[in-house]
Structure 1
Amino acid sequence: MAYTAKNYDHLKGGALKGLSDSQLDQHFGLYKGYVTKLNEIEERLATVDNTKPNYSYNEYSELKRREAVAFNGSFLHELYFENLGADNQISAGLKAALDAAGGQEKVLADLKACALGGPGWALLTRNRRDGKLHTYFVAEHHLGMPIEQDLLLVVDSWEHAYMVDYGTARPKYLDIIPENIKWSEVSKRFGK
């Protein structure tokens, strides 16, 4: 199955506060690159010899090591772009979960603190084990991803997400994220 990059041009033209079209175009291009590489890796995996995998080096082994990078890089970006759009339509269930976690402001402050932990991803999840909301920082697409989580809100805190508009001022970029959250999408994910 070949994956197709989605079009997020509806986020341009001032739809998001504090993110220019130039910033978004560069970010969309990087996302499309992940999708392209994912397709290349999967196409090669369909034909490569998998009978002699090796830790030191083997083509199959290398492709398998990079597959999760391209896969997660593709789909974390999709989740990020899809939870942007600035609306305040929070479902009753999500509101109750946010309140149980100390309130929307506290949860968003914790998510921002996670994102300031370094370049990577800040995630708001619902833990399937305890049913509670959690925030996590993931430094790379394929390392440290917590299991048994429903991804609700994804924030890209890699430099490519904000450098055009904010230079190295990650905190200023993160200040505008709450104003750009599409809570209806986060609520939809919570409801699944």
Structure 2
Amino acid sequence: MTDYELDPLPYDYDALEPHLSEQVLKWHHDTHHQSYVNGWNSAEEELEANREAGDFSSSAGAIRSVTHNSSGHILHDLFWQNMSPDGGDEPTGALRERIEEDFGSYEAWRGEFEAAAKGASGWALLVYDTFSNQLRNVVVDKHDQGAIWGGHPILALDVWEHSYYHDYGPARGEFIENFFEVVDWEEPARRCEEAVELFE
């Protein structure tokens, strides 16, 4: 059985200030993200024990726990990777062209993405929809409710309150705007290119 581990942040805890504080990154990464890794490992252990014992009475709950916690771990990994102290620019190249093709303009995409982030109880995602071969914005509640089957995540924004409330209080919209001050489009561009190569 795979034992999942929490990777360190790809930058220092204070690297995204003043947009995201050192304290929030420490709490968010070391406590909240770690809890999803722990929850995934624990649920996998329970499923393995149930299979060995032939007792599946708790397996449905463990499967739900795998779905919730694995999604939390995967999305947090992406969230950290698509931010950088050197971020803040707009996308360029093939990703910019694809956004304009699928949404009409970068501004239209961003407006829709921000609306998704304001309405979500979990995450706003830009995904590559492998069924329709196009980019889509997705509202995800918790970590696993609202995802599109076959959706390949390109960009992730965590709007759980633990990601911003210490810094912004109830001003989620301000947090969403400042997220774009630290977005590093290199990783989303790589993920989009990977999806296009695989599915088109």
Matched residue of 1:48: which SS?
helix
For the 8 Å contact 1:73–1:141, the answer to whether it is kept is yes
Question: 1:5-56 deviations in whole A, cap 9, x for unaligned?
Answer: 0111615223354100001111112001110111111122111257454xxx
Determine whether 1:64 maps to 2:24: no
Give distance in 1, aligned partners of 2:130 and 2:157. Answer: 20
Determine whether 1:4 maps to 2:21: no
Give distance in 1, aligned partners of 2:146 and 2:90. Answer: 31
Determine whether 1:158 maps to 2:160: yes
Report what 1:34 is aligned to: 36
Say if 1:89 and 1:112 are closer, same or farther in 2 by CA, change over 3 A.
closer
Report what 1:22 is aligned to: 23
Matched residue of 2:181: which SS?
helix
Report what 1:98 is aligned to: 99
Give distance in 2, aligned partners of 1:71 and 1:11. Answer: 24
Matched residue of 1:164: which SS?
helix
Shift of 1:130: 2.3
Give distance in 1, aligned partners of 2:13 and 2:140. Answer: 27
Q: Kindly tell me the number of residue pairs found equivalent between the two proteins.
A: 188
In structure 1, stretches of 5+ residues that fail to align are none
Moved more, 150-159 or 16-25: 16-25
Give distance in 2, aligned partners of 1:150 and 1:105. Answer: 22
Say if 1:89 and 1:144 are closer, same or farther in 2 by CA, change over 3 A.
closer
Shift of 1:75: 0.8
In structure 2, stretches of 5+ residues that fail to align are 195-200
Give distance in 1, aligned partners of 2:147 and 2:109. Answer: 19
Give distance in 1, aligned partners of 2:91 and 2:12. Answer: 20
For the 8 Å contact 2:20–2:167, the answer to whether it is kept is yes
Look up the equivalent residue of 1:132 and give its one-letter code. Q
Identity fraction in percent: 25
Give distance in 1, aligned partners of 2:152 and 2:185. Answer: 15
Regions of 4+ moved over 6 Å: none
Shift of 1:89: 7.7
Q: What RMSD in Å do the two structures reach over aligned CA positions?
A: 1.8
TM-score normalised by the chain length of structure 1: 0.90
Shift of 1:157: 0.8
Question: 1:83-102 deviations in whole A, cap 9, x for unaligned?
Answer: 11115484521111111122
**Matches for 1:57-136 after TM superposition, within 5 Å:** 58-85=57-84, 86=87, 88=89, 90-100=91-101, 101-136=103-138
For the 8 Å contact 1:91–1:184, the answer to whether it is kept is no
